[in-house]
Structure 1
Amino acid sequence: MKKRFFVTGVDTDAGKTYVTVGLLKAAKRAGLKSIGLKPIAAGADRVDGNLRNDDALLIQHASSVKLAYEQVNPVVLEEAVAPHVAAMKEGRLVTASRLEGYIKGALLTPHELALVEGAGGWRVPLNDREMLSDVAKTLDFPIILVVNMKLGCLNHALLTAEAIARDGLTLAGWIANTGPEIMSCYDENVATLSSMLSAPLLGALPWCKNDEDVAKVFDELLSAL
């Protein structure tokens, strides 16, 4: 049975790529055929004449099913700004239907787990009338919400969950991601979100540099999906 999820965050730098890569590595350890996709990314460097986004490269390398970079990250924009602004500056039009086509094409490759990572938060514009959430709506995959635990996260998480529900999608669960400095009243904030969000807390990611400990956390996260 295939499992497919769309990974979003409460804002940019919430830890979406960290979670996506961690889950893909856990899937590889479990012997699963896994695919990670980053359909649109803004912020890239030229490698051998081709634009490459660091997050997309991490996702490509963590997947057990090897796809060409162009399948993992079909729309790569050079400037690290909002995707629709970067696209406009490059004279390109990015549409939800085109991204959907890229994603569905890549997912024709046999797999058991697929993670599609968004860009920024839930309501990131693609153009003057569409948002990345429109792509998620068409895919209709359950959503994994990454919450970076810092001041303001309660509002951002609750509003994002409301928007996901309004779009008719299922919030599979949320993940508490902790940075190098633990926020004040961390436990109380996690408890508040646990009581106010309709989806379960899949796990809490502590700030940890020990690879073995991190791997164990992600193995548990994968089993919770």
Structure 2
Amino acid sequence: MRTMIVSGTGTDVGKTVVTAAVAALAAEAGDRVVVLKPAQTGIGPGEPGDLAEVTRLAGPHVATRELARYPEPLAPATAARRSGLPPLRVADITTAVAEIEAAGADLLVVEGAGGLLVRLNDDGETLADVAAALGAPVLVVASAGLGVLNTAALTAEALAGRGLTHLGQVVGAYPEEPDLAERTNLADLPAVTGAPLLGVLPGGLGDADPRRFLTTARCGLHPVLGGQWVPPLP
């Protein structure tokens, strides 16, 4: 089973859309795909969360699994502490991954909450620890605008310092009329991170119907991720 971790340079950068896009392309190619959301925050019991969005966009052939849910929109460690619910641990995630692999999945996409070093619990475990435990590469979803070069470089440095594989980065919500920073960031992101740009998806893609979503995903993601996108020349 191939496993990929999806993290971000921050919150609201398009991680769920990118996760759904990777899953949709893999499912179209015939893979048995599972999307795992270890911790969902800011959503109450019974309410649709990120995995409902993945299902809507990628289709019912992509299986999903959520391990922990906390009602307040906070880091998982803080949300668990405040709710009185059990915190999520790396061991919980590795156990779930083993079960998913035993069930016969071809591709597992693990979508994190926020950035790479957001705490899962008060012991300080993070998504980086999950990546290390699974030996899985990390795909970083980046915002488009001013300030992303710093957060992307810090994320790349954290990955390198832990000996983790930085698969590359995808800009998760690129505006229709980009400003100067958004245009130049496409060339600068690989330079400051040392990792390739593997796609650019347009803002608002989460509102697309499944057919348009799949077509846009194919046009917006690199062949490494199952698409046909070609990086712009420097």
Distance verdict in 2 for CA 1:106–1:43, change over 3 Å = farther
Q: CA RMSD in A?
A: 2.2
Q: How many angstroms apart in 1 are the aligned matches of 2:55 and 2:222?
A: 18
Out of 126-135 and 114-123, give the one that drifted further: 126-135
* Deviation per residue, 1:147-191 (Å, 9 max, x gap): 011221000000001101111111111112234463433221111
User: Which residue of 196, 199, 220 corresponds with 1:200?
Assistant: 196
Q: Secondary structure at the match of 2:180?
A: coil
Q: How many angstroms apart in 2 are the aligned matches of 1:60 and 1:108?
A: 22
Q: CA deviation at 1:56?
A: 2.1
Q: Secondary structure at the match of 2:115?
A: coil
- Contact 2:44-2:69 within 8 A present in 1 as well: no
Q: How many angstroms apart in 2 are the aligned matches of 1:153 and 1:115?
A: 23
- Contact 1:36-1:60 within 8 A present in 2 as well: no
Q: What is the count of residue pairs matched by the alignment?
A: 216
Q: How many angstroms apart in 2 are the aligned matches of 1:56 and 1:80?
A: 16
Q: How many angstroms apart in 2 are the aligned matches of 1:107 and 1:45?
A: 29
Q: Which residue of 2 aligns with 1:76?
A: 69
Where in structure 1 do 4 or more consecutive aligned residues deviate above 6 Å? none
Q: How many angstroms apart in 2 are the aligned matches of 1:98 and 1:215?
A: 32
- Contact 2:17-2:54 within 8 A present in 1 as well: no
The TM-score normalised by the length of structure 2 is 0.82
- Contact 2:88-2:120 within 8 A present in 1 as well: yes
User: Which residue of 73, 82, 89 corresponds with 2:82?
Assistant: 89
Q: Which residue of 1 aligns with 2:160?
A: 165
- Give unpaired runs (5+ residues) of structure 2: 226-234
Percent of aligned positions with the same letter in both sequences?
33
Q: How many angstroms apart in 1 are the aligned matches of 2:158 and 2:29?
A: 33
Q: Which residue of 1 aligns with 2:108?
A: 114
1:126-145 correspondence runs (5 A): 126-132=120-126, 133-145=128-140
Q: CA deviation at 1:208?
A: 5.8
